[in-house]
A and B are shown apart, each in its own frame.
Chain A
Amino acid sequence: MTTPVSEAATAVAAPGLAVSAPPARGRLRQSLSLYLPAGLLLAIIAACFLSPLVATVSPPTGGSVLNAGLPAGTPGFPLGTDANGNDIFSRLLYGGRVSLEVGAATQLIGIALGGLIGMIAGYSRGLLAAVLMRVLDVFIAFPSLVLALAIAEGLGPGELHVIWALSFYSVPAFARLARSATLRLRDQNFMLAAALSGTPRWRIVLFHLAPNLLPQLMTFALLGAGVAIIQEGALSFLSLGVPPPGASWGNMIAAGMQTMSVRPSLVLFPCLALLITVAALNLLGDALRARWSAR
């Protein structure tokens, strides 16, 4: 049993310890928590985008019905084939491209557009800013499925339109983040110094404010990419995203669900691919955030 006093000492001292010079073991753990998910993510990206260029992978579509439902380990089909005779491994790789592209594109649009709106809203604090933020509130309160439906139906389902639909959610999220960070920074000395030395406001925002926000926005983008990938999967699952025969983890899950009790692997593989990718993004984002906040 520890005494209340030593309890108090550990409870109070521990958070302080974590901030001041971590011991060697803690430092190792910190770098591992950064490099392991980063390596995993790079491996996933390389597998999806590069491996079809280097190794021979069967095409993800146009399989023969004669090859339908082959088990894993069949020569030429490492994870077997689906009900249409397409190679599951190849579909996982090409579906992964869709997921990663949607994740990256929505976050880049979010950083650029949302970051700009948030900085303007936070820096000017005028009527324009108030109106901008209310408009973004409307988008946040609007159910994403209805918007995605309208875009999918109006422009045809497809990856690009999924990106547009999901950007309506990444832009307000980044705008809020950039606005609150701007409100914290706008009265700091370096900002006042820039304004006093006669720097134009647009220059202050783009060259003094933006570089200071970027690390925070980019860390948030890793977490946001995970959310976007999950949502792309949901849209494709509900047949509002990438249409078959094109490969997407979401539509693979939806197709596999019909035979789930007989061949659970058709559902399990894309589910695991999605889970591992999103977990890698979250672990990396978290480790980066810990690193930034420790400074």
Chain B
Amino acid sequence: MTVYRLAARRLLTAIPVVWGVTFLGFTVLNLLPGDAAQALLGADATPSEVAALSKQLHLDQPFFARYGNWLASALSGHLGNSLGSGQPVTTILAQRLPVTFELLLYAFIISLLIAIPVATLAARRPGGVFDSITTFIALVGLSIAPYILALLLILFFAVDLSLFPALGWTPVSGGLGANLRSLTLPALSLGFPIGCFYTRLLRADVLEQLDEDYVVTAHAKGLPGWRVLLRHATPNSMFGLITVVALNVGTLLGGTVIVEQIFGLPGIGEELFQAIQTRDFPVLEGIVVVFAVLVVVIGLLADLLYAVLDPRIRYDNPGQ
């Protein structure tokens, strides 16, 4: 089976999942009590005003008609307008997503910078001093909730030492250094716990690889131990990490909501929280779709990366 056929197959299974998420999202939001039109106009609005706005926003139509309308316009790339600001949802998403993407990327880089060197060094002498200490730190570290780490970091670095800003976000136009500085504490809050998690996984995978025949061969050829570790065992240990990174995207996205809230970053998580407060259903539905597409697409990319890196997978049944 070629990579392309695998891609097509995975895409076919991904489409129903994304569709299911949109339908579930619509159903769930529809179950919410309270009238969006009433909420927009305030408690003083007369029933006829509410009815007029409901009609204007198509809120008076039956559920399946509204879902059908939404799905049809979503397929043509239009996700509706925000009930609050009237802006198109796609415009709002386009403004918010870059901040969240930068934060996620920064956090991801931090987690890899922690995981790869620490796991490799720990696997060099399993049960040694470095291994024991880092294993314990990693286990405690992955127990830290991002929001707790965020608050502790604010307390120590922003309040006590004033090294980093506690609040706010500087766009890239305000200088890359200032931009990265404003994102460092949020990225660290997200990246450190997940980096600890990756460290444990990677260490176990490296140890497993060190048991393989090709490692014995490399040693027998007389290669230095560190070279065997860095060039042979560690690169071959990345497969487990790829899967877990893909599985973690949803959790990481959930984490951004609260971290953006704490640090006042204008990302998609903050928008989600605001939309929850104001019952802005089109925005909520748009964010649900974006999150789902991200989770599904990254899972798909992980599967493909797997198949590209390891030819054996292409010939096996990918359904497993």
Residues of A within 8 A of B (CB): 2, 4-5, 7-8, 10-12, 14-16, 18, 26, 134-135, 137-147, 149-150, 153-154, 183, 226, 230-231, 233-234, 237-238, 240, 253, 257, 260-261, 264, 267-268, 271, 274-275, 278-279, 281-283, 286
- Known A-B contacts A7-B225, A253-B147, A282-B143; A142 and B33 likewise in contact (beta carbons under 8 Å): no
Q: Is the CB of B139 within 8 A of A140?
A: no
A-B contact pairs, 7 of them (CB 8 A): A4-B223, A14-B127, A141-B250, A141-B296, A142-B25, A268-B155, A282-B142
Pair B292/A257 contact, Cβ less than 8 Å:
no
Q: Is the CB of B139 within 8 A of A143?
A: no
**Distance in Å from the Cβ of A255 to the closest Cβ of chain B?**
12
Q: Is there contact, CB below 8 Å, between A142 and B288?
A: yes
**Chain B contact residues, majority secondary structure:** helix
Query: A141–B21 contact, CB under 8 A?
Result: yes
**B interface, CB within 8 angstroms of A:** 13, 16-18, 20-21, 24-25, 28-29, 31-34, 124-127, 139-140, 142-145, 147-148, 151-152, 154-155, 159, 207-208, 210-211, 215-216, 219-220, 222-225, 228, 250, 253-254, 257-258, 261-262, 272-273, 276, 284, 287-288, 291-292, 295-296, 320
A180–B107 CA distance with the chains assembled, in angstroms: 30
- If the complex has contacts A141-B296, A146-B28, are A18 and B127 also in contact, measured as CB distance less than 8 A? yes
| A8-B220, A137-B17, A233-B145 known; A15-B126 Cβ under 8 A | yes
Q: Which 6 A-B pairs have the closest CB atoms?
A: A8-B219, A138-B20, A7-B225, A279-B143, A278-B143, A230-B145
Query: In whole Å, how far is B227's beta carbon from the nearest beta carbon of chain A?
Result: 10
Nearest-Cβ distance from residue A148 to partner chain B, whole angstroms: 9
Contact call B147/A237, Cβ cutoff below 8 A: yes
- Given A145-B254, A146-B287, A278-B143, 20 other A-B residues pairs in contact with their CB atoms under 8 A: A4-B222, A4-B225, A8-B219, A11-B228, A134-B16, A141-B291, A141-B292, A143-B287, A144-B254, A145-B276, A146-B25, A150-B29, A253-B147, A253-B151, A268-B152, A274-B145, A278-B144, A281-B143, A282-B142, A283-B139
- Which chain A residue lies CB-closest to B140? A279
CB-defined contacts of B148 to chain A, threshold 8 Å:
233, 253, 271, 274-275
Contacting pair A260 B159 (CB below 8 A): yes
Partner of B216, one of A12, A139, A183: A12
- Report whether A12 and B219 are in contact in the complex, using a CB–CB cutoff of 8 Å: yes
Chain A residues with CB below 8 A from B207, complex form: 15
B25 in contact with A279 (CB, 8 Å): no
* Shortest Cβ distance from A250 into B: residue: B147
Contacts of A135 in B (CB 8 A): 20
Instruction: Write out the residue numbers on chain B whose beta carbons fall within 8 Å of the beta carbon of A240.
Output: 276
Which residue of A has the minimal Cβ distance to B292? Answer: A141
Set B143, B159, B276: member contacting A146, Cβ < 8 A: B276
A143 to B147, CA, bound (A): 17
A279 to B284, CA, bound (A): 34
B159 touches A226 (CB 8 A): no
Bound Cα distance from A146 to B272, whole angstroms: 8
> Does A153 lie within 8 Å of B33, measured CB to CB?
yes
A142 and B24 in contact, given A4-B219, A278-B145 (Cβ under 8 angstroms)? yes
Chain A residue numbers with a CB within 8 Å of B32 are 149-150, 153-154
Tell me the minimal C-beta distance from B36 to chain A in angstroms. 12
Closest to A285 in B: B139
CB-CB under 8 A from A282, the residues of chain B are 139-140, 142-143
Shortest C-beta distance, B238 to chain A (Å), equals: 19
Residues of B within 8 A of A143 (CB): 250, 253-254, 272, 287-288, 291-292
CB contacts (< 8 Å) of A137 on chain B: these are 17, 20
Which residues does chain B contribute within 8 Å of A286, judged by CB atoms?
Answer: 139
Chain B's nearest CB lies how many Å from the CB of A285? Answer: 10
Knowing A12-B210, A134-B20, A141-B296 are in contact, say whether A146-B284 is a contact too (CB < 8 A). Answer: yes
Q: How far is the CA of A121 from the CA of B211 in the complex (A)?
A: 34
Could you tell me the distance between the alpha carbons of A252 and B29 in the complex, rounded to whole angstroms? 29
Which has the most chain B C-beta neighbours within 10 Å: A10, A140, A233, A267? Answer: A140
Q: Which residue of B lies closest to A156 (CB)?
A: B33
Cβ contacts under 8 Å, A237 to chain B: 147, 258
**A144-B254, A145-B272, A282-B143 known; A271 and B288 CB under 8 Å?**
no
In the complex formed, the residue of B with least CB distance to A9 is B219
B127 to chain A, nearest CB (A): 7
Contacts of A16 in B (CB 8 A): 211
The distance in angstroms between the C-alpha atoms of A231 and B254, with both chains bound, is 10
- The answer, among A10, A141, A231, A261, for a CB contact under 8 Å with B17, is A141
State in angstroms the CA–CA spacing of A257 and B262 once bound together. Answer: 9
Min C-beta distance of A187 to chain B, whole Å: 13
Expressed in whole angstroms, the minimum distance between the Cβ of B148 and any Cβ of chain A is 5
Determine how close the nearest CB of chain A comes to the CB of B45; give it in whole angstroms: 21
* A233 cross-chain contacts in B, Cβ below 8 A: 145, 147-148
Distance of A281 Cα from B139 Cα, bound (Å): 10
Q: Is the CB of B254 within 8 A of A134?
A: no
Chain B residues with CB below 8 A from A149, complex form: 32, 276
Contacts of A231 in B (CB 8 A): 254
Distance between B184 CB and nearest chain A CB, rounded to angstroms: 19
Q: Which residues of B contact A264 (CB under 8 A)?
A: 155, 159
- List residues of chain B with CB within 8 A of the CB of A4: 219, 222-225
